[in-house]
Structure formats: structure tokens, C-alpha cells
Structure 1
Amino acid sequence: MKLIVSGATGFVAKEIIRQSLSISEITSVVALARKPVSAPEKLGEGADPSKLRSIVVNDYNHYPEEVKKEFAGASACIRTVAITPAKSKMYDFEEVKRVCQTCTLDGFNSIYESGVSKPFRFLYMSGVAAERDQTKTPRFQPQYSLMRGDTENKVLALASELDGVEACCAKPGIITAPGEMMRYIAGTLVQLSVGIPSIGVVDVAKAMLDQVVNGFEKEPLMPEDLIRIAKKPSSS
């Protein structure tokens, strides 16, 4: 299968790419980013770096025909592009919405229009605080949380209109990484205060790859789902 990883230079995406190169079912990895992407260091057993194809776009709103040709025949896409809650305060909200929502839908449409393999699985990485119910007022960054939830709604609605397409939203809590103490502390505080478990970047990548390769178990994928799926024995 051909897998597209959108936002390929990001924290989670790098780990997705690293693991994907060792998964036998995945025969091609299209790393989509605004700058060139090379194979990560410390590849796993059986990794094949030749499967990686780096594709550069200047704007996640616009995909030239030569880029769309690289999407053709794809079986799945994991989209990780977003402005995080912490960084969102540094930008005008309309720009945050453009990156998180408009670019997501434009990218989804452009990939589908390229001629995907069916069934095609689109996995949108959101966050546990994203609120789909637009009548609610979330406690944490309400405008941002509602926008991310609305994006989830729009992704699922678009998938329902497209032939042979399945969509799912992954909603992790704090994502930790080995050696990054601040992420670990933040994850611990969130779990103690509101009961949302953190998840390591290796596990969240493993869980999302499992779902695009083997099919979505449920929608959405909440933190506890991602942790559970990550504990399953690898199929490859």
C-alpha cells in the first residue's frame, strides 16, 4: 500500500515515517512537507529507506498537478498538519483556522481527486480537547477547541460524500518523547488533574499506522484506544 504522511517534518510524523519503513504492508511512503524529508535515524529492523518519497509543497492549500501525480494510487493518508494549542496564541485566529481546517479539507480533496486506491483511509490527527458539539463552551481555549472539533465534523462529512473513503480522527492527549522532561511533566499533570492519559510518540505512531493498515476499529480514537492499540503485537 502507498501511504501519504502529511506534515512529514513534525514531531509525530517523523516517528510515523520511521516505523512505516519497517512495515511490510506499506510499499511506498509519500512524505509531504514544506521542505525536503530524509529517512529518519535509528530505523527499525527490516526498514527499507528506498520506500520513502519526499514531496515538497509551498502551501498546504494548493497542490500542483505534479504533486497530485505522486498521490495517485494511495491507500491511506495520516494528516498531522496543525498549529498546536500553545502556538496558536502566536497567530491570528483566521490563520490558525486556515492551517488546521481549510488546509486539511483542501488536502483531503486533492488527494482523493488524484485517483486513490479504494478503500482509502484518511486518518486526521486532532486532539482530545477538540469539541465536536458546537453548542458547548469548552473550558480550555474554547475558540480553538471548537474549531478543531468542527474540523473533525467536516472531515467525517466529506468522507461520507466520497466513494470508497473511510475517515477517522485520532484524539491523543499529551504526547511524550524519551528524554523530553517537560512533555513528561505536562502529561503527568494532565492525567492527575483531568484523568486523561498521556501517550508516547512511539505508541501513538504505532497505533495510527495499525489503523490505516488494518482498518479503523472505531471512530474517534480516544487516548485509551490509542494506548490499547499500541500494545497489540505488531503484524509485521
Structure 2
Amino acid sequence: MKLLLTGATGFLGHEVLRQALDDDGIERVTALTRRPVGMAHAKLQEVVITDFLDYSTLDLRDCDACIWSLGVSQFQITEEQYVRITLDYTMAAARALFAANPHARFCFVSGRSADPQEKKGALYARIKGRTERQLEAWSESVFVFRPGYIRPTARSGPRKDLARLFAPIGTVMSMMGKDLSVDCDKLASCLLDVAKHGADRHLLVNSDIRDWKAA
């Protein structure tokens, strides 16, 4: 299997990359990134790009799946920038991938509060939900993941973004129920398993991810 990955320099994406490189069932990982990932591996192909709206120079015909974990906090940028990164970048990649390989799988990391009906007031909920809706209308090979708080573990290492401040709360949340948080390495494992084998549902909420059993 040949995997396309975004967000490899981020918290979740880096854990996905680490597990993918250790997976004998994955032949190649193509990481689309703005800056070097910072590691060397025989299976890793880095593609540094400046425009996540343009895939005309990439040959995606042999990509079997994409894990889209590229994201940014709505509080760090303007609304226009957030829509471009969350919605426009994602849809441009999905269209390019499915045009090259209609049978590929596209795994989109959304969020627990995403609202496809866009009735919630939060920008995050509306734009993540809009992206889900447009992706699902585009192809039946789309799988949406809605994790809650993504907890750091000994394997994944600590978070480096602002959400690191909530790590102690995330531990408490994990004991309150299966809908609120998930370990980073568990989410990465679930993403990779669905990318490789698909799933019997196209929407996986936090509890589904926590209960996921790899094929």
C-alpha cells in the first residue's frame, strides 16, 4: 500500500507517520508538507509544497489512500484563512486524489463538535462540518473521524501546541466516558487501519475510535 499523508510535522500526523513507517503493510509514505519532516527513512518520500490548492505536478495514480490530518486552531488565524486551510485545501486534495485514483480512500480528521448542518455558532464546528458534507458528497470512499481531545502518550510524546495545557484535563476526561478524549497513538492506529482496509461505517466518532480493533 502507498499512503499520502498531510500534517506530518504536527502532533497527530507525526504519530501517524511513525506508525506507518513501522508498518510492513505500507510500502511508501508520501508526506506533503511545507517544511521538512526532520527524519529519514527508506519508505518516506517528502514532497515540500507551497500551495495546497495545486496538485498538478504530483502523480497520485498509485496512491491507495490519504490521511488528511492537516489543521490549525481557529484562534491562530483569520476566518478567511481558516476556511482556506480547513475546507479549500482538503477539497482540492480530495478532488485531485479521486481524479487520479477513484478507488482510493480518503480519511479526514475532523473533530467531535463538527456540524455538517452548520447550525452551531463556532467557526470550527461549521467549517469542519461543511468540509465533511462536501467530502461525503464527492465520494463514497471518504471516512470521517471525529476525535475529542487528542491525548499525548508515552509513545506519541507531548503536545507542543496550546492544547498541551489541557493534557491533565484530558486525562480526567478519558475516565468520564468514551466520547470526550482519545489517545494519540490509538487514533493514529485507527486512521491507518481504515486507510488500509476501509470500515463498515463512514463516520467514526470518538467512542468508535477508542473501541476500534485493527483488522
TM-score above 0.5, yes or no: yes
What does the per-residue CA deviation read over 1:149-189, in whole Å, with 9 as the maximum and x for residues that have no partner?
Answer: 011000111114xxxxx001110000011364734223246
Match of 2:168 among 169, 185, 210: 185
CA apart distance, 1:52: 0.8
How does the TM-score come out when normalised to structure 1? 0.80
Identity, % of aligned positions: 27
Q: Does 1:16 align with 2:5?
A: no
Bigger-Rg structure (1/2):
1
Is 1:155 paired with 2:135? yes
> How far, CA to CA, are the matches of 1:217 and 1:197 in structure 2?
22
Aligned to 2:161: none
Alpha-carbon separation, structure 2, partners of 1:192 and 1:206 = 21
Residue 119 in structure 1 maps to residue 103 in structure 2 = yes
Change (3 A) 1:111 1:119: closer
1:73-112 pair list within 5 angstroms: 73-84=62-73, 88-112=74-98
For the residues of structure 2 that align with 1:191 and 1:63, how far apart are their CA atoms?
A: 39
DSSP-derived class of the 1:207 partner: helix
Tell me, which stretches of 5 or more residues in structure 2 are unaligned?
Answer: 159-163
2:124 is matched with: 144
Task: Say whether 1:213 aligns with 2:212.
Answer: no
Partners of 2:175 and 2:11 in 1: how far apart? 24
Q: Which blocks of at least 5 consecutive residues in structure 1 are unaligned? A: 41-48, 161-165
Match of 1:6? 6
- Which one-letter code corresponds to 1:28 in the other structure? R
1:62 aligns with 2:35: no
Could you say which residue in structure 1 is the equivalent of 2:150?
175
RMSD: 2.2
Quote how far apart the aligned CAs of 1:125 are: 0.3
How much has 1:191 moved relative to structure 2? 5.6
Shift of 1:12: 0.7
Q: Across the two proteins, how many residue pairs are aligned to each other? A: 207
Q: Hey, what's the Cα distance between the residues in 2 that align with 1:192 and 1:201?
A: 16
> Is 1:130 paired with 2:114?
yes
TM-score by length of 2: 0.87
Answer yes or no: is 1:36 the counterpart of 2:36: yes
- CA gap of 1:213–1:186, structure 2 versus 1, over 3 A, is same
Contact 1:18 1:39 in 2 (8 A): no
What letter matches 1:15 in structure 2? E
Conserved? CA contact 1:30–1:53, under 8 Å: yes
CA distance in 2, matches of 1:145, 1:194: 21
Cα distance 1:188–1:80, how it changes in 2: closer, same or farther (>3 A)?
same
